[in-house]
Every structure is written in C-alpha cells, then in structure tokens.
Amino acid sequence: MDDLLGDFVAETRETLEALSGEIVAWELAPDDRSRLDAIFRFVHTVKGSCGFLDLPRLEKLSHAAEDVLADVRADRRRPDSGLVSAVLAVIDRIAELTDAIEDGRFIADADDARLIQALQPGTAPAPAIIPAPSTLDDDVAELAQALDAIQAANDGADDENEVVVVADVAAPQVDRPVTSAPATPRVVSRTIRLPVDLLDRMMAGVSDMVLARNELARRLRESGTESNTEVAFERLSQCIAEMRDSITRTRMARVEHLFTALPRMVRDISAELGKIVQLEIDGGDVELDREMIEMIRDPLTHIVRNAIDHGIELPEVRVLAGKSMAGRLHVSARQVGNQILIEVIDDGRGIDADRLVQKAIASGILGQERAATLSWERKLELIFEPGLSTAQQVTAISGRGVGMDVVRANVERIGGLVDVESRPGQGLRLTLRVPLTLTIIPALTISAGGQHFAIPRSAIDEIVRVGGDAVRMATLGGADIVFIRGTRVPVVSLNKVLGLSETSAQANLVVLKLSGGARYALAVEAVHDHEELVVKPAAPVVMACGIYGGTTLPDNSRPMLLLDVAGVAEKAGVRHDEKGAAETVVEDNDVDQDEKGTVPVLLFRDLDGIERGVPLALVERIEDCFSTSVSTTAGRMRLNIDGRLVPLVSCGAPIIEPKIRVLRMRDGGEELAYAIDIVIDIVPVAIELQRSTVPGPVSGVMLVEDRPVEFIDAFWLFAQGLGIEPAPAQRPICLLSDEDPWTRQVLAPLVESAGYKIIYSQDTGVAADLVIIADGTASEPTEAGAVLRLRQNAEERGGSPNSLWRYDRIGLTAELRRHWNKRSA
C-alpha cells in the first residue's frame, strides 16, 4: 500500500506543479472556462484517488471543492473572488496534506470544516448544499477527463516505463508548528520520476567504471607503484564501490510489486475452483532488483496457482480432514545474506511423494529398482521432472504441461534455487532462493584447457585438491567419482564437458551444489581467484550451448564465460543418476560426525613451515594475493583486498614469495587475513588440545592423523588483528627482583601471560604494582604496594608464612590474578 500512496503523492504533487499557473490565471479571470476545467479535473482526480486509498480528509476536501466547481461549470454559481480564494485555500490544503502524508506528519483537521464552509455561498453558516446527483453519463465523462488530466500531468510519458525513485533528500527535520497558513515553507520534494532506461544506462556506466577500475588495479599492481598513488586509487575504488551500491539500490524495488497481484489472483482462482483460501502476505518491504522481480513473477504465479489447484482441498474435504474450511496460503519474502527467500506455504494436502514415484515409474522416467533407493526428499524432487504432474485431471488452472520443471529452470537461470518440502495431508512449502541482483555476482575463476571461466560463488560448496586420504578419486562403472571425507560425489571433467582435449591433469575439484542439495565435483585445471564480476547476458547463440550463464570482463579485459552450474551438470548427465546415491551417503556421514563431536579443521603449512590447524568455520575463504598488496601501515601489516585494508596477521616469519596465500577470517563482525604457505587438507577433528601456557598465535597442540598440529588461537588472532590487546602502558607492572635465568626464562612468561608488564630493576623509577622476590632475600622494597614471595621448596619449611612454592602454578596464577584485579579496580 505504501507504494500506491507514494505514487499518489508524486502524482498529486506533479499535477499541482503543473496547475499552479492555471490557478493564478483563474484567479485573475474566474470566467475562463479552460482554467476552470483543469482545476476541476485536478480535484476530481484527487477525490477519486483518495476514496481508493482511504484518505477521508483529503476526500472530503476535494469532494467539497469539486461540488462547488461543478456548480460553477453548470452555471449554477458565479465564480466570485470569495469562491476563488476558498477553492484555492482547499487546493493549498490538499498540497499541505499531501506533503504531510509523505513525512508522516499530522495536521490538525479542525480547520477543514472552516475551509469547506468558506466554499458555500454567503457568509452565514448555511446548511450544506447537497449537490444534485450527477447522471451516469456525467460520471463517465468526468472519469475520462480525470484520466486525461493524469495523462497531461505525466507529460505524455509512458507510465509503464517510469519508476518513482525515492531520492534520499534529507527532509528538513524542523518541527513545524501546526498551521494552516499556505505560506508554510514546503518540504523539499523527496521523490522524482525517472525513466527506467536512464537507470539502466547509469548502471551500465557504473559497470564499465568497475571494469576500468579493475584494469587500472592490474596496471598499478604490475608497475609496482608508490604508496600515495595507491592511497588515491583506494579512495577512487571506495567511491566507485559506494556509487555502485547506491545505483544498485535505485534498481531495487519492493517485492510488494510482485505480491500486489496475488490477492486478486487467489480470489479469482479459488472462486473458480469453489475453494476458500485465506491469503497471508509477509515481507513485502524486502527489496529486490527490478529485473529479478520480473523474472520470478511467472514462477511465483505458477506456484501459487498450483498451491490452490492441487494443494488446498475443497471446503467439505477440509472439514472431513479436521481442518478449517478456509485453506491458508502464506506467501512471504525475506532477505538472508545476499539472497532473497520467497516462501509459499499452504496447508493443503501436500505432495504424496510415493504417488509421484508411481507416476514417474508409470511414465518411464524412473526405474523400479532405482525408485526403491530414493529418500523422501529425492522422491519429492520428482515434481521438477518434465511431464510429471500429480493432478488427476488437467484443469484450466494448472496441469497444462507448464510444470514445475519450467519453474525450476526459470529460477535457476537467474542463479536461484527451488526447494520443496512436503508433509502429506498437512501442506507444502516451496522456497525460491534468488540472488539480490542479477548484474554483479561474486564468482570464482578457474581454468580448463588454458582458458578462464567463472563459477558463481553461491553454487560453490567447497574446493578440494585430490590427494591424501580425505580426497580420493575412483571410478565406478566408467564414471569418475571422488570420496571427500567419506562422501561419494560424482566427478565431472570440465574439459570433457567443454569438448576440450584432456591433456593436463585436473587435480582441483570444485564441489558444486545444485537445487535440492545434490552435489557434484567439477574437475578443473586450476583455481584462481575470487572476483566480483559484472555479468552480462551472452548472445543467444552462445546461451544456446546450455552451459553458460553469461559473459563478463575481468581485470585482464579478456572476455570470460560464466558457467551455468546446473547446465554443466545436465550436459554431463549427473543430475538424474548420481545425486540420489551421493546424497544418501552424505546424510549418513553427517550423523556420524555429530556423534563424535568433531568439527572440520583446516590444516595448513604456516610461513615458518610448521603444520597448523584452524576450525574451518572461522575461515571465510582462502585467497591468493600479491605480496605487493601487503603494506605496513600504522604499525601493523595490512592487506589490500578489493580496495579495503584488512589487518594481516602472520606467525612472524617474513613474507618472501611474490604471491601469498591468506586465510580470510571473520568473527561475525571484524575481518582479518592470516598469511600461510599452503593449505594441506580439511579433516574432521575432535579437538582435544594440550593447551599452550603462553598467549600467542598457538592455543595448543594435538595429533591429527599422527602428526602434531598446532592449533591457531582464534581469540589471540582477532585480538592481535584488531588491536584489542591492551597496550603495554596500561598493564600493571610487576617487578621481578632477581635477574637469574630461572626468573627470566621460567617465571617471566607466566607473569607476562597473566597480563603484567615486567621490569627487572627498581632504577627505572617506575612504581611497580607487584613485586615478586625470592623468599629469604633481605632487601625489602619500600614503596611497592604488594609483595609476593616465592620459596624454593614445596614444603613450608623455614620460609615466610605467606610465601608460595615457586612451582605452585595454581597458587601463583591466583595470586597474580588477585593483584591484577585489585590494580584494575
């Protein structure tokens, strides 16, 4: 409804602007018929819209003005100056209220009656004149005129091709006194109309700008520039990114546009079928690319039709089944990450997967033996098979062969997925997952046959290398398969699919997921980079290959093709045959892992050659970077990733290679990169560490596959990377009075790890918060607040009463903490 209101406000304001000249002219020459007509049309249009939009105040005002003007037009009244100013006052009030609607302000309506009263002839409060009811013919004529007025106001522009852009002009936040004075300064108009064409051109311009930026980035990297050029370039990148963001947003429209047609459609279809359907719509304010909205309009329509036709039962059947007479149909949209989820849930009979299977067997799509092995979910997936419908008979509404297969194909074409979930007798849930925007997608670049290709990131499950026990290749009846951590996944050779000669080894496997959770591994020669790519549709003759999703221009300005993950699977023939088998194994495996309490751990060789591990959940992605994009600024290493500076942490070993590999990690909010040498493997591990005693990059060590592996301390890492660790100056100071090797090597690290800064001699002039001395030392520090004595022996023999044995770790730590807390308090 908000959009309609916005349209109304924009339209009314436009007409008002166009009319302002007319109003003045009319004031000068009240007899001018054409001016009168224009004003009449305006109030008439407003009246009509208000009735529709449920704005009673505006309606009352415009209605009163319209009546008076109708009288004038019919020569029942003379337009004297009193009448003219009364009408103008009403029009001013309409303008004021329109602005108020937009700002959500309230204007007292006590005045309205006076304004309306002023329209009446004479000054005496005469009873309201009830206008002679206009005949039907008049109404039709008025309607036509009103339409003309709208047309004229739009300057002949094609309505269909225009959008109302809500510009973010900050409205003055002054608390205006509530007045009816027409002189009140008008709020700056916050919406403008733009042709979609112009937006598209802007978008194309920004896309080209991104490409030019990428090109420049490459050149800069190659030439090894000075840092100030880089800073300027970074600023440029930032600006472009921001601009791209805001322009992308102008292309966004609320999903509501998609939903507005539903109530009427549901009403018509349910009436035709004699069903009662209660429609609930949620999340209409979620925003989505305009083009995307058009792309999912048909699939959504189809799904809703299906839900009413096949899903929701006739009222009497529902009552027999113990359900309410009216079927519930819930359509909702929400944003999850960079995807939009559109759900259609009905409480109808659901889909009987077993009946689907019978039909599939009957129509020869599925073999009898194969059917027996399918899980419930796999069986449900059969609704996406072409030529399969559960409808007993073909009705006018659905079941005409345009089936769910088309829906799925359409959704997948725009990079989306369709999930289905059914509980027989209780209902069905269909979920469409679509990306936010069509034009710019994050992608992974890979190569096959010496040529680069892009794969949408959204389709990638993981990337593995063949080798080791975790990833093992095998053949099964001529088909290549791979075992990834015990899961069987079909392998598709990209070279083979593309018809390239299989010369070089394809040791890299990109595991891709399809709709419904099926997976396959795409064997490629090399995996290169993550990039944000501007994807444009390829020529039809290229799209006809069925394996490409579009073209893009990466940094090197050599066109690259985006692979259509589903298309490749289709061409390789994995879709129907392999997924069931692969999935059953996956499911079993998941259960196993849960029982053992293991988590996937990424093993890698660190820069210093030591094998380390980190829980995979912390790693967002693994990336190769040029070491030239590493800079030491503001006292720490930073990495330039896509024009942003991300803290770079390493184990301390110098970065020598021209290319470095980093783990990009995120703790939910903050981001950092950890430099490593190479990734070894991802293995499920039940983490049981031998904890390290010193805070540092390593939290502990444990045996993984019989090798000692140090585990990265994520807490320390983020504290380091983000500079949260308290600066040395803020730490309490501990004076160690002895300087023997034991104190320095053994005691000091422990004290330091408890958060103290250590000094060794009183000379520095710094007052120590705590002094640790060996028991028996005579010299007693005077000004120090607290003293902790350590004795040589475990037994309290000959020592001071409150001294501690120097290996009493627990006691020591407790003491240190106690003093630390005291100091902090």
Partner 1 sequence: MNDLYLIVEIAGQRALLPAACVESVVEIEDIAPVPSAPPHVFGLFALRSRVLTVIDTIAALGAGRSCDGEKQAVIVHVDGHLYGILVDDVDDVVQIDGVPAHPRAPLSAGWARYSNGVLDHDGEPMLLIDVAAMIAGPIDIAA
**Token pair of 782, please?**
């005077």
Of 545, 724, 746, 814, which lies in the binding site for partner 1, with binding defined by CB under 8 A?
545
CB nearer to partner 1: pick between 539 and 591: 539
DSSP of 501-537: ---S---EEEEEE-GGG-EEEEEESEEEEEEEEEEEP
192 is a contact residue toward partner 1 (CB under 8 A): no
CB nearer to partner 1: pick between 136 and 539: 539
CB nearer to partner 1: pick between 236 and 786: 236
**Token pair of 492, please?**
């598709």
Please report how close the Cβ of residue 291 comes to partner 1 at its closest, in angstroms. Answer: 13
553 is a contact residue toward partner 1 (CB under 8 A): yes
Cα torsion angle, 514, 517, 521, 526, sign: positive
499 is a contact residue toward partner 1 (CB under 8 A): yes
198 is a contact residue toward partner 1 (CB under 8 A): no
258: enclosing H helix or E strand? helix 256-259
| Residue 472 φ then ψ, to 5° | -130, 130
Please report how close the Cβ of residue 545 comes to partner 1 at its closest, in angstroms. Answer: 5
Q: Which stretch binds partner 1 (CB under 8 A): 152-160, 483-491, 493-501, 760-768?
A: 493-501
CB nearer to partner 1: pick between 144 and 204: 204
CB 435 within 8 A of CB 489: no
540 is a contact residue toward partner 1 (CB under 8 A): yes
CB nearer to partner 1: pick between 139 and 208: 208
539 is a contact residue toward partner 1 (CB under 8 A): yes
The rounded distance, in Å, linking the Cα atoms of 55 and 64 is 14
CB nearer to partner 1: pick between 414 and 561: 561
**Token pair of 407, please?**
């829906």
Of 129, 202, 498, 722, which lies in the binding site for partner 1, with binding defined by CB under 8 A?
498
User: Which residues are 734's β-sheet partners?
Assistant: 758, 770
Of 477, 558, 635, 825, which lies in the binding site for partner 1, with binding defined by CB under 8 A?
558
Pick from 345, 414, 430: nearest CA to 380 = 430
Of 116, 344, 547, 804, which lies in the binding site for partner 1, with binding defined by CB under 8 A?
547
497 is a contact residue toward partner 1 (CB under 8 A): yes
Q: How many residues bind partner 1, per CB under 8 A?
A: 29
Please report how close the Cβ of residue 500 comes to partner 1 at its closest, in angstroms. Answer: 6
296 is a contact residue toward partner 1 (CB under 8 A): no
Give exposure, 701-739, as e/b (b: 16+ Cβ within 10 Å).
Answer: bbebeeeebbbbbbebbbebbbeeeeeeeebbbbbbbee
**Token pair of 346, please?**
């009905």
CB 75 within 8 A of CB 23: no
The rounded distance, in Å, linking the Cα atoms of 647 and 673 is 6
211 is a contact residue toward partner 1 (CB under 8 A): yes
493 is a contact residue toward partner 1 (CB under 8 A): no
Please report how close the Cβ of residue 195 comes to partner 1 at its closest, in angstroms. Answer: 17
8 is a contact residue toward partner 1 (CB under 8 A): no
Sheet holding 508-513, edge to edge: 460-465, 508-513, 519-524, 487-493, 479-484, 471-476
Return the DSSP state at 307. I
CA dihedral 182, 188, 190, 193 (to 10 degrees): 90
557 is a contact residue toward partner 1 (CB under 8 A): yes
Site string for partner 1, 432-471 (x = CB under 8 A): -----------------x-x--------------------
Site string for partner 1, 251-270 (x = CB under 8 A): --------------------
Of 560, 569, 772, 816, which lies in the binding site for partner 1, with binding defined by CB under 8 A?
560
Q: Which stretch binds partner 1 (CB under 8 A): 151-159, 463-471, 554-562, 650-658?
A: 554-562
Of 28, 174, 181, 541, which lies in the binding site for partner 1, with binding defined by CB under 8 A?
541
CB 547 within 8 A of CB 593: no
CB nearer to partner 1: pick between 150 and 560: 560
Pick from 626, 628, 637: nearest CA to 672 = 637
727 is a contact residue toward partner 1 (CB under 8 A): no
The rounded distance, in Å, linking the Cα atoms of 342 and 256 is 12
The rounded distance, in Å, linking the Cα atoms of 93 and 389 is 58
559 is a contact residue toward partner 1 (CB under 8 A): yes
88 is a contact residue toward partner 1 (CB under 8 A): no
Cα torsion angle, 724, 727, 728, 734, sign: negative
Of 164, 240, 500, 645, which lies in the binding site for partner 1, with binding defined by CB under 8 A?
500
Q: Which stretch binds partner 1 (CB under 8 A): 369-377, 381-389, 532-540, 806-814?
A: 532-540
CB nearer to partner 1: pick between 471 and 494: 494
CA distances from 16 to 3, 67, 73, 750 (A): 20, 19, 21, 78
**Token pair of 78, please?**
């003379």
CB nearer to partner 1: pick between 208 and 469: 208
538 is a contact residue toward partner 1 (CB under 8 A): yes
Site string for partner 1, 161-180 (x = CB under 8 A): --------------------
Of 548, 604, 711, 820, which lies in the binding site for partner 1, with binding defined by CB under 8 A?
548
| Residue 563 φ then ψ, to 5° | -80, 140
First to last CA, the chain: 57
Pick from 518, 636, 638: nearest CA to 584 = 518
**Token pair of 539, please?**
């020529």
CB nearer to partner 1: pick between 251 and 275: 251
Binding residues for partner 1, rule: CB under 8 A, are 207-208, 211-212, 449, 451, 497-500, 536-542, 544-545, 547-548, 551-553, 557-561
